[in-house]
Structure 1
Amino acid sequence: MDSLTEALLEGASPEELERQTLPAEYLAAHLRAEDVGMFGKVEDKDVRKSLHVGNVEMPEIAPDEVVVAVMASSINYNTVWSATFEPVPTFEFLKRYGRQGGYAARHDLPYQVVGSDAAGVVVRVGAGVRRWRPGDHVVVSCVQVDEQEPATHADAMLGAEQRIWGYETNFGGLAHFTVVRASQLLPKPPHLTWEESAANLLTAATSYRMLVGENGARIKQGDVVLIWGATGGLGAFAVQLVKNAGGIAVGVVSSERKAETLRRLGCDVVINRNEIGLGGDDPLTPQRTIELGKRLGRAIRAEVGEDPHVVFDYIGAATFGISVFVVRRGGVVVTCGSSTGYQHQFDNRYLWMNLKRIVGSHAANLHEQAECNRLFRLGHLSPILSEVYPLQDVAEAARLVQTNRHTGKVGVLCLAPEEGLGVTDPELRSKIGEARLNPLRSVSPERVA
């Protein structure tokens, strides 16, 4: 263990942290450029074969960057995409970024440290950093932007130089240390543990932008919101946001076990997709899409008496045509991600003749993330962590997400030696209560062969 890590774990002061030397290397989950193409035409691209854990070099930091000692991180689906080298190898992103020269050239390496969530302690700041100092407890935004780009000052997600850290950049969060821009930092909610804090920002803020913010569906009291994959990392936060806004949450899940989990989250209407025939390997033809849409519409109207105002769809190819069909006249389908495929097919008559809208959404700008983070700090949003792995077992954690055997978010302990650390406001934690803070922790993943 290096002296900086020892000082961190012993609760060293900010001054002591500044005196410590950054280690020349650190432990990180990473991919290797030499492995690109390893899966060929293999049907099961098992991420346990491509994700490695080992030492990598500590990069030099730019004036607007900080080094964060990562106490905990979590698995997002973009790590699965990275580790399967699909839809394109992320090394292509790094090469393109590196061609800018300067500090960007550091990112073009024969390895990529992955991971787009982190909670930890600032241990070093660049010469141009004003708002942060060593010792600060932070969570890390997944969005890296260019503040010199005009579009960034309107909506950072519209900037051409916007990138997702740990996916389109190097030095991600599934590691003992990470290098990020100061503009990616937000204060850690003081009543949450490291692992609880590290599992929220990417998915919760994405759901916030999709549903609440002015760039998304802008839900209001009484809105009926259909949420596909409602116990997943995005869906479980969507349920909470709809409930907070006074809406009616209609969640769709793939099993009765997940349906029970969804009820524990307070979802108003729970639909098992298998009960409406949306399961198995039957091809989703245009005719079947309409048939399934009618079944789903009837099921929703039987419970709430009307069609959904908004459909929250990150599933993609397997659901999108149904989403466009089932949303009410003048309604909104808000979409991101597409975990089942990017090629969406739908009958455009049901879109244009019924004045429906499709809103594409991607991550969240820093203001939206700050507003979302505030909801955690107030106790109005709860983590959806279901299981925590050590960094050495990160490949198993990613495999759990790849095979959809998880609920909520899967956390990863990095420098934190055990769960339960990092709480600096125990009074608020006690006031909120463990059951409300961890509604999914007693739910074990659905482990299958």
Structure 2
Amino acid sequence: MYAAVIRPERYGSPAGAFAVETVAVPTIGRRQVLVWVMAAGVNFNNVWAASGRPVDVVDHRRRRGSTDEFHIGGSDAAGVVWAVGAEVNRVQVGDEVILNPAYWDELADDIRLGADPTLSKSLQAWGYETNYGSFAQFTVVNEGQCHLKPASLDWMSASSLLCCGGTAYRQLCTWTPHTVGPGDPVLIWGGAGGLGSAAIQFARQFGARPVGLRALGKDTGRVGSRRAASLVRRGTGLRRGVLPGAR
């Protein structure tokens, strides 16, 4: 298969670290799924992977027993189920799926004892801590990472949904009693980025009043287009719009 591959000898800027290569299609385990990638989202974790900092991802996996000398990144994708392991029963070949970047072991002791899987010691970032991410024709995921793609979403929209969207939703809605509701002012750091953009839109959907905080030089228009109630520029105090609760 074709893949955008990072090798340690190329670590540096993404433009130089990534190269399209032909590599073997990965094999799958009994509870894993091979997905034919239709579209892949881009996240900052593979800028880190390309640079080899703060973690050398190839060396990190090698120290845990991997023999792979390369890294195929990508933590967001949508595609078609191509093959399934012997114990997979939630999806079948031909299903159109969106992939969740949270990669955990469902048989881990803490999960079997009732822990939130996203807090499990077995949790890894698929396509960053694991190999064979979405920047390839085929990717390997655990069965639990697969969610059926809504027919209303095209491939590109679906492929950029769950990494930032899922994280933003959890931050805003699952830390009871600190959940966002109508009228709540919500300060969103990094409002111009993927996670911040998703958080602004979720906050608006819940009737809250998002305040986008952005760094100098970032795209102010992007924050405004996501319907932030107001904008604060970090380091200057300059703001646009009326802050929630201001008189």
1:102-156 CA-partner distances (Å, limit 9, x unpaired): xxx4xx3011111111100001111111111111000111111111113224201
Q: 1:58 aligns with which of 18, 21, 25?
A: 25
What SS class does the counterpart of residue 226 from structure 1 fall into?
strand
Change (3 A) 1:213 1:32: same
- Find the residue that maps to 2:40 and give its secondary structure: strand
Offset, 1:74 = 1.3
Is 1:172 the counterpart of 2:112? The answer is no
Structure-2 change in CA distance of 1:61 and 1:304 (3 Å): closer
Shift of 1:59: 2.0
Distance 2:32 2:177 in 1: 30
- Give, in angstroms, the shift of residue 220 of structure 1: 2.4
Q: Which amino acid aligns with 1:252?
A: L
Aligned partners of 2:231 and 2:241 also within 8 Å: no
Specify which structure has the higher proportion of helix: 1
Percent identity, please. 34
Query: What is the one-letter code of the residue matched to 2:15?
Result: R
In structure 2, the residue matched to 1:147 is: 106
C-alpha separation in 2, matches of 1:34 and 1:259? 37
Alignment of 1:347-362 (within 5 A): none
Q: Report SS of the residue matched to 1:59.
A: coil
- Whether the aligned pair in 2 keeps the contact of 1:139 and 1:197 (CA below 8 Å) is yes
SS in 2 for 1:132: coil
Amino acid at match of 1:161: S
TM-score of the two chains, using structure 2 as the length reference: 0.90
Q: Which SS does the other structure have where 1:120 is aligned?
A: strand
Aligned length: 244
Task: Report the AA paired with residue 30 of structure 1.
Answer: V
Aligned-partner Cα distance in 2 for 1:262–1:195: 21
Local SS of the residue matching 2:165: helix
* Residue of structure 2 equivalent to 1:181: 142
Q: What's 2:200 paired with? A: 239
User: Where do 5+ consecutive residues of structure 2 fail to align?
Assistant: none
Residue aligning to 1:32: 7
Where does structure 1 lack aligned partners over 5 or more consecutive residues?
A: 1-25, 39-44, 99-104, 278-294, 307-449
Matched residue type, 1:84: S
Letter in 2 for 1:78: N
Distance of aligned partners of 1:257 and 1:49 in 2 relative to their CA distance in 1, 3 Å threshold: closer
Q: 1:301: Cα distance to partner?
A: 11
Give the superposition deviation at 1:302: 5.8
Native 8 Å contact 1:82 1:90 kept in 2:
yes
Once residues 136 and 106 of structure 2 are traced to their aligned partners in structure 1, the CA distance between those partners, rounded to angstroms, is 26
Identify the residue that residue 81 of structure 2 maps to in structure 1.
122
Q: Distance in 2 between matches of 1:194 and 1:224?
A: 33
Q: Quick one: which amino acid aligns to residue 29 of structure 1?
A: A
Task: Determine which structure has more spread, i.e. the larger CA radius of gyration.
Answer: 1
Q: Taking structure 1 as reference, are residues 166 and 256 closer, same or farther at Cα in structure 2, changes over 3 Å only?
A: closer
Change (3 A) 1:223 1:133: same
Alignment deviations for residues 378-402 of structure 1 (CA, whole Å, 9 cap, x no partner) = xxxxxxxxxxxxxxxxxxxxxxxxx
Opposite residue 220 of structure 2, the aligned amino acid is A
Structure 1 residues 128 and 246 mapped into 2: Cα distance closer, same or farther (>3 Å)? same
Deviation at 1:300?
A: 9.1
Task: Calculate the TM-score normalised by the size of structure 1.
Answer: 0.51
1:135 aligns with 2:94: yes
1:219 is matched with 180
Q: Which residue of structure 1 aligns with residue 165 of structure 2?
A: 204
